[in-house]
A and B are shown apart, each in its own frame.
Chain A
């Protein structure tokens, strides 16, 4: 005899519960968590190196690097002066999950003011997983082409800020940063926008000022 039982349970409930535990843990130190997401090669790690260089000595920054393989990024960010860096290798997974962040945080020092999570380079999957972050940032580079916001709207809709990087290369790749931003705002008008060239440092100060000004969001959000 078969019977039907009502479940109504979120599929990613375990991830969401782990994300809630991360928020609970980090609220004690008032650590602001920023989750940076982009396609591969947008310049996340270069921007992070520049960010850590500017913020080191001013605020205590920790970094979690997510990659499918290698610890290249963690080494680069550590050399730039991050207080605490851990590399997570997902072994093929296209995104980070809250459980991975929770385990990585077991070795974290107390007193971090800012924790930056560099997600696996991918414009689709990472947006589905809450990492206990306060702020989500989508990063793009002009070399990816102007049409990306509307091809990958999920990531843009869920983010609070957009960093458009490599703007120094715009004249060579026939992309208008202004139009890229316009397309992005047509997907999500609430995006705070930064135009950067991480390798020359252009725009990085404004981005760092914003990071340093961020407050922890209420746990219910």
Chain B
């Protein structure tokens, strides 16, 4: 008989889930360093990571309340994928929706830009 998994979830949207994971990383590392407060959280988010920076900021405000990061500033460093045109040799930073070379129009296939990590914390 088809089974429902013996557990359920109260799931949330993708950036909220990312914000929760990010907060868990920040709180664990703050605790390991005996922090009383987190003043700043710095993230690196690539433009191919599938995470919307605006949605992540919105979700951060929801998950920070009642934590030692309640007044923390969220700094997001955005990185871009690299593209290299095999036809004309041009190299450029590619956006998510760049599929062709801006110089010659040949198709390009960007690499990288999938970074998604907590870079540093400012604590006290």
Contacts and interface: CB of A to CB of B under 8 A. Distances in A.
- Say if A and B assemble together: yes
Interface of A: 1-15, 68, 71, 74-75, 77-78, 85-95, 97, 100, 103-104, 107, 124-125, 127-128, 150, 153-154, 157, 186-189
Interface string B1-36: 111111111111110011001101110010001000
B109 interface: yes
A84 to B, nearest CB: 9
Contact of B4 (A89, A93, A97): A89
Contact of A11 (B1, B2, B117): B117
A95 B118 CA distance: 22
Interface of B: 1-14, 17-18, 21-22, 24-26, 29, 33, 39-40, 43, 48-51, 96-97, 99-100, 107, 109, 116-124
A153 B9 contact: no
14 contacts: A7-B25, A9-B25, A9-B118, A11-B21, A11-B118, A68-B11, A71-B2, A87-B4, A89-B9, A93-B12, A104-B5, A128-B49, A154-B48, A187-B99
A189 B8 contact: no
